[in-house]
């Protein structure tokens, strides 16, 4: 948009409406980024739930197996210990996945916030630059107009002086009786 904009006196003129439209598009696209982050969070939660289901399936399998072997006390105790170990391991894995998911969500939110702040900073800087350029151009244009009007005013004054009738001629005997308008000739 900047490269296609007209140039005048080394300055680029930008279409304010197009800039505002672009800024609106940026503003409207940011909720999409937050929506994507939210989708990723939901996906991570689904993975977390699947892991919990998988863990529950393992626990259920271990429980069934321990029930089958209940007749033998040694095997039953071993099965209970294994089931407990599996539960602990699954709980640890689930907790680890949950912490990783939360950390990833926080990182993505932080990154999205930084990107938003950077976009806002760039948009404000660009607007300020455009405003400064417009102010400079207006000042130069007004200065040029002031100079031109001053020149025109000088020309008008000179023209009016030329049109003024000459003062009446007085006899000046000390200088050979010449009229003031004839002395310089």
- State residue 140's pLDDT score: 94
- The residues that bridge with 8 in the sheet, in sequence order, are 11
Mean pLDDT of the 140-158 span: 94
Mean pLDDT of the chain: 82
pTM beyond 0.75, yes or no: no
| Alpha helices by DSSP H, the chain | 16-68, 73-163, 180-183
Band of the pLDDT at 76, cuts 50, 70, 90?
Answer: low
Q: Does 48 or 143 have the greater pLDDT score?
A: 143
Cβ atoms of 22 and 1 within 8 Å: the answer is: yes
Cα–Cα distance for residue pair 73/77, rounded to 1 Å: 6
Question: What are the angstrom distances between the C-alpha of 63 and each of 5, 79, 84, 165?
Answer: 74, 8, 10, 125
Q: Does 26 or 90 have the greater pLDDT score?
A: 90
Token couple for 101: 């998911």
Q: Where are the domains of the chain?
A: 12-161
Cα–Cα distance for residue pair 70/124, rounded to 1 Å: 73
């Amino acid at each position: 948009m900047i490269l296609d904009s007209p140039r005048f006196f080394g300055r680029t003129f930008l279409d304010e409406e197009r800039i505002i439209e672009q800024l609106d598009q940026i503003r409207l696209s940011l909720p999409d980024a937050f929506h994507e982050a939210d989708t990723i969070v939901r996906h991570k939660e689904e993975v977390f739930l699947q892991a919990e289901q998988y863990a529950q399936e393992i626990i259920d399998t271990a429980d069934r197996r321990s029930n089958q072997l209940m007749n033998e006390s040694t095997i039953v105790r071993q099965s209970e210990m294994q089931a407990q170990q599996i539960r602990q391991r699954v709980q640890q894995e689930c907790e680890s996945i949950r912490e990783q998911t939360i950390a990833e969500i926080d990182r993505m939110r932080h990154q999205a916030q930084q990107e938003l702040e950077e976009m806002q900073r760039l948009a404000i800087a660009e607007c300020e630059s455009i405003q400064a350029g417009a102010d400079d151009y207006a000042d130069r244009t007004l200065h040029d107009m002031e100079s031109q009007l001053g020149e025109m005013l000088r020309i008008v004054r000179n023209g009016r002086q030329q049109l003024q009738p000459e003062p009446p001629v007085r006899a000046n005997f000390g200088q050979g009786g010449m009229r003031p308008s004839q002395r310089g000739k």
